[in-house]
Amino acid sequence: MFPKKIFEDIKSSDFQKHNKKQVTEDFVTENFKACFWNVYRPFNDTGIDLIATKKVCPNNHTQFDDNTISIKKCPNCHKEFINIERFIQVKTREIKGEEGESMFFGYTLKSKDFRTDPRHIFLFYSDATNDFLIVPMFDYLQFFHQKEIGKSHFGTPSFRIGNNKLNSLKRNEKSIWEWKGRETYSFMQFLNEKGMELIVNPNYDLKLNDYISKITEMKFDLFYDYSAGRQIDKSQQEVFNQILQKQVKQNLKDIAKKRVERRKKLIKTIDNQLVISIKKYFEKFKNFDFQ
């Protein structure tokens, strides 16, 4: 059974939104450790709540809960193990709704959460039902890219503001997890053991560059598919999308050069005090030389 109820003395309802982060992340950590993963916890706030690593067979013979700690080769094909790393971002929520009816798991994701590394994993933890929905970056983007529901998630003004609370992830009265928009799509392929099977797959590591390219392509398609929301007249949506597509094509060719040109022009046209002020803001971004 995965996940296990590791902390027998507590119930999810013992904790409130303000004090549950530490305990729920520790709950995830202990469950990974129980499946013989090594776990590392961040010293500072990095957007990653834990890094989990495991030695696995490169031919995908390793189960997510196999104990591979003290062995070096796959007992199945005798290939030497490789070390895989998963960068896990945990979102813990209490599902809302009436007991016995469909309940929703509300969460937000911001543009900064979407890195192009396939080893980045979203782990949605429904503490009241003890369910993990474990979704690798590639699979998350592909889910929305293939299903024509991406616009309502990524194209909206509220996604860019960072306050787009998504309420479409639901657990129905038969305990089936699904994404319910105009149409309903199953989310069961990410649930508990199924999700763990996805992340133990070494292909994300062995074909890292291929996955990065695919993720980048989907990310750009989804992020630059402008949805007007309530901001502007819908008739302008198409015009804005045309502007965006043209600009993205150009940016992929020469954005670094253009940024330098515009920065030089900016420095020439503002006084030195202002240059010093900008430089101070950029101090926190290491390896960036403003001038």
Partner 1 sequence: MRVDIKSVAYAFASQDVNVYFPDGEEECFMIEKLVCTKCDNFWHTSLMECYFCGELNYYLYECTNCKSKYSITNSSKNCLNCQENNSLIKACINEKCPTNQNEQLKELNKKEKGVFDLTSSLNLSLMYCINCGCPENKYKTFRIFVYNDEIENNFEVFMKRNEPFLNINDIIVFKKHNGILKYNFSKIKNTPLTLPTEYKFKEIANLVENILKL
Site for partner 1 in 247-276 (CB under 8 A): 247, 251-252, 254-257, 259, 262-263, 266, 269-270, 273-274
Q: How far is the CB of 291 from partner 1 (least distance, A)?
A: 12
Q: Based on CB atoms, which residue is closest to partner 1, 133 or 137?
A: 137
Distance of CA 189 to the CA centre of its chain: 16
Rounded Cα gap, residues 92 and 35, in angstroms: 20
Query: DSSP readout, 151-176?
Result: HHHHSSHHHHHT---B--EEE-TTS-
The encoded tokens of residue 65 equal 């809960």
Contact positions with partner 1 (CB under 8 A) in 200-229: 208-209, 212-213, 216, 220, 223, 229
Q: How far is the CB of 180 from partner 1 (least distance, A)?
A: 25
Contact pattern for partner 1 over residues 149 through 168, marking x by CB under 8 A: --------xx-xx-------
Contact pattern for partner 1 over residues 229 through 248, marking x by CB under 8 A: x-xxx--x--xx--xx--x-
The partner residues of 120 in beta bridges, in order of sequence, read: 87
Kindly list the strands in the beta sheet with 184-186, ordered across the sheet, starting from the edge strand earlier in the chain.
Answer: 103-104, 169-171, 177-180, 184-186
Q: Based on CB atoms, which residue is closest to partner 1, 11 or 280?
A: 280
Choose one: 112-120, 127-135, 144-152, 178-186; the region binding partner 1 (CB under 8 A).
112-120
Residue 203 DSSP code: H
Contact positions with partner 1 (CB under 8 A) in 57-96: 69-70, 83, 85, 87
Q: How far is the CB of 11 from partner 1 (least distance, A)?
A: 23
Q: How far is the CB of 150 from partner 1 (least distance, A)?
A: 15
Query: DSSP readout, 109-120?
Result: --GGG--S-TTE
Long-range contacts of 140-144 (CB under 8 A, 24+ apart): 141/114, 141/215, 141/218, 141/219, 141/222, 142/218, 143/179, 143/185, 144/222
Could you say which of 2, 12, 23, 38 contacts partner 1 (CB under 8 A)? 38
Q: Based on CB atoms, which residue is closest to partner 1, 42 or 186?
A: 42
Could you say which of 20, 91, 93, 119 contacts partner 1 (CB under 8 A)? 119
Q: How far is the CB of 106 from partner 1 (least distance, A)?
A: 20
Contact pattern for partner 1 over residues 8 through 37, marking x by CB under 8 A: ---------------------x---x----
Handedness of CA 35, 137, 169, 172 (dihedral sign): negative
Asked if residues 6 and 31 have their Cβ atoms less than 8 Å apart, the reply is yes
Could you say which of 19, 22, 272, 287 contacts partner 1 (CB under 8 A)? 287
Residue 41 found at the interface with partner 1 (CB under 8 A) = yes
The encoded tokens of residue 94 equal 């209490």
Q: How far is the CB of 127 from partner 1 (least distance, A)?
A: 20
Rounded Cα gap, residues 92 and 171, in angstroms: 15
